[in-house]
Amino acid sequence: MTRKPGVSVRLKLTLSYAVLLIVAGALLLAVVWVFILRYVPVNAISIPGFFMPGRYDLWRAFAPPAAGALVFLLLFGLLGGWVLAGRMLAPLTRITDATRKAANGSLSHRIELEGRADEFRELADSFDAMLARIEAHDAEQRRFAANASHELRTPLAVTQTLLDVARSDPNRDTAELLERLRNVNVRAIELTEALLLLSRAEQRSFARGKVDLSLVAEDASEALFPLAEKNGIAIDTSGEAAFALGSYSLVLQLTTNLVHNAIVHNVPEHGTVQVQTATDAGSAVLTVENTGEMLSPQLVATLTEPFQRGSGRIRSDHAGVGLGLAIAKSIAEAHDGTLTLSPVETGGLRVTVELPAAP
């Protein structure tokens, strides 16, 4: 937005200080003058050996020094006000410079205003905290965009390769080619839908209602029962009714992702997945725990990052797109909740989701 040039705040403060000082000085002189006039006769009194000036005589003697004092106060107010306003507005100048640098893309700059707490320092600290969050979010978005571009490029590159091979070998079996192309296309669609769901969760563009986590857990477990049975995994769903405030479809997607992740990252045979719901201190709690390999805390800490699949822990037939836990975390945070990962001592992963309880 283009604005016309105006008077600086420093000059405005300087003029305000000077005018206030002049008014205060003039009032003080007026009070003194009025107080003196009460005891001074209008006309001068002159007798042998004694002379008492009148009001006019005192006015001629008092007016020039009073005018000189007002001029001095004016100059002193302008000079002192200019210096004082500059010192007071110095933090604002640093904040303005930092804002301009941030607008030009320099998010790493911080104000770090020293001194005791006041309004300017509170503003500077809030601005530094905002810059830190924006920088972290920007870095996360850049990393996510790079990973998404890489993941989306893979199925396209595979498709291109398959088509080039088919064109170079006209006698090749088209049934096998079509099946492989279909699988690549399905994976690209799944990845695109996952990216759209993740974006929707991050933008919080959904309506909130009363959601029973126990019913959601049963629906997700029932939908994934064929996959669990195929892999020899037993699903145990238990717990009490836990009503959360949120979107049913998104909470169902969150639960489905967690249960699916618990199934595909499990022991080959006789593995288990435990899904539990409960209420605790104003929160609705969903816990999904599975058996599996021993996981290090360092690996667990990276599993909620987009496109992180955990090395050597994904079945080839259900590799997914590496966004399951990332989407679950985004959905939990979009509901003002939390998602916590912790390794199980005997092997496997425990995921705990806490959502605000419905009133």
Q: What is the pLDDT of residue 342?
A: 92
Q: What is the pLDDT of residue 236?
A: 93
Where residue 307 falls among pLDDT bands split at 50, 70, 90?
A: low
Where residue 1 falls among pLDDT bands split at 50, 70, 90?
A: low
Cα distances (Å, whole numbers) of residue 271 to 106, 220, 232, 258, 340? 50, 18, 7, 15, 22
Treating both helix axes as pointing N-terminal to C-terminal, what angle do 174-203 and 248-264 enclose, rounded to 10 degrees? 130
Where residue 318 falls among pLDDT bands split at 50, 70, 90?
A: very low
pLDDT at 224 over 60: yes
Q: What is the mean pLDDT of the chain?
A: 81
Report the candidate in 216, 285, 289, 279 with the shortest Cα–Cα distance to residue 247. 216
Task: For residue range 275-298, list pLDDT tens digits in order.
Answer: 999 998 889 999 999 998 888 888
pLDDT at 17 over 70: yes
The predicted model gives 48-73 an average pLDDT of 78
Q: What is the pLDDT of residue 7?
A: 77
Q: What percent of the chain has pLDDT over 90?
A: 17
Burial of 261 from C-beta contacts in 10 A (0-12 / 13-18 / 19+): buried
- Cα(first)–Cα(last) distance of the chain, in Å? 44
pLDDT at 314 over 90: no
Q: Are 197 and 253 in contact (CB under 8 A)?
A: yes
The predicted model gives 18-29 an average pLDDT of 87
pLDDT at 175 over 90: no
